[in-house]
Structure 1
């Protein structure tokens, strides 16, 4: 079902946010984070999240506004939130590009920009999981889901599917390494 797919994508996005936060912590300690991994995360958000994930959510939300306007109103302007997320992501990309080009950037500014992105993405995902998805599951009719599914792109997740793209290889390896290290620390 569409909501399960979107929920799984949220879990994958949370994994990326954890990696980005890990790299930011290295940056904050005056270390050199893995900029290839950071750029791959930014590219993933620009390509998959913006073009596919949010487009799917926007279709579901458009149906929710028709089926249950009160529930949609409680959720707010989802499309606007998605645009705001894209703006924050652009700020992150610009800050990272600035650091890599040795432009004058205060570490505190880079940290603030990236942490703002992390915090808002996590808040947004929590709201969708808690409020939006259950409201859509309750209100939408089988025909709505069929119509939404017919409009879905056949595009597979370029990082977390069998259709992985080479440009995300380093990121995928980095995620697995960090998850293995975290698992080892728990035992």
Structure 2
């Protein structure tokens, strides 16, 4: 099983992910480490990423997910995955078509994957803007400034019933969040 911890910046994806992966003895990866430098520079400058910026990054993460799945390994990935289309790229590797032109984005070729869709559970780390903002303002050494939080909430499409997902409230201590997710996973595997 692959667990993707998703949500806006500052919701605790990395902290929860590291603790959860340790508890499960699974691999952990932080999607932020897969961003190209140009994306990190944009975010550091307070410029929100576009879909065009995100799709190559998401495709790299899809490759990671598929490698874990094909090798029979379980993993925890901390990744914002803010839009449903981003979560689709993570699970299928396919970039959505541009509705205005009825074609796939010209910068990223459309690829069909012959491999089976990996078993991915999206865990939405849900919190109010106030809770997340207070966490972001106390965080140091990260390229994502608190000023981009509003754009993150504007971009966010909460998972719906059509997706393999659960929501966990983050307005509780870190280990309580980890244990909530752990219990969900234990029931599924």
- TM score, norm. by length of structure 2: 0.31
Specify which structure has the higher proportion of helix: 1
Larger C-alpha radius of gyration, 1 or 2? 1
